[in-house]
Amino acid sequence: MKLDLTINGREECIEISSGRFRIGDGPEREASVEMPQPGVYSVLLDGRSYQARVEEGVVTVNGFRYETEVRDPRRWSRQSRGGAHTGAQDIKASMPGKVVRVLVAVGDAVEAGQGIVVVEAMKMQNEMKAPRAGKVIGIAAKAGATVTAGEVLATVM
């Protein structure tokens, strides 16, 4: 699973898979995580133990507070990506797969929620949608190409 994070204003990307994780371009690391009660995690990382408390938008680790925002590139939300944004916005692959169809061309006008690219993963087709109304200013996806989760497929302005 790939997630986009903002931690105390700093943008990061984390990939998580079976007890292993990688932040940004850093090395892959292994951690053991237990949840003794809801919102409280016990983490064993590099032989050290950490207690993390997770609340809405805040993670406290061993007494240190971090303002956080987690965004899953697989989820499209009209509220979080709606018309309030200005400038170019990327449409990213929600999961690894194969590009089946590109539904628009550079220069096309699109509406919020309009299909841009169709990606097939595990025999299911998923339509990546425009985050807001605008004009397609770039298309990186090509039919038949393999993509990874979070990879930019197109850009809308």
Report the predicted TM-score, pTM, of the whole model to 2 decimal places. Answer: 0.48
Question: Each residue of 113-135: pLDDT tens digit?
Answer: 899 999 998 888 888 888 888 99
Same domain? For 60 and 108 the reply is no
The predicted structure's pLDDT at residue 75: 61
Structure tokens, 38: 């809801």
Given pLDDT bands bounded at 50, 70 and 90, which one contains residue 84?
A: very low
Same domain? For 126 and 95 the reply is yes
**What integer is the mean pLDDT of 33-40?**
87
**What CATH number is associated with residue 101?**
2.40.50.100
Question: Each residue of 67-82: pLDDT tens digit?
Answer: 888 776 666 554 444 4
pLDDT at 39 over 70: yes
Identify the CA nearest to 107 among candidates 137, 132, 152, 128: 137
Neighbours of 145 (CB within 10 A): 14
Domain that holds residue 63: 2-71
Cβ atoms of 153 and 95 closer than 8 Å: no
- For the ranges 14-28, 51-65, 76-90, 95-109, the one whose mean pLDDT is highest: 95-109
Structure tokens, 37: 């009660």
H or E stretch covering 54: strand 48-55
Same domain? For 117 and 149 the reply is yes
**What is the secondary structure of 86-129 as a DSSP string?**
-S-EEEE-SSSEEEEEE---TT-EE-TT-EEEEEEETTEEEEEE
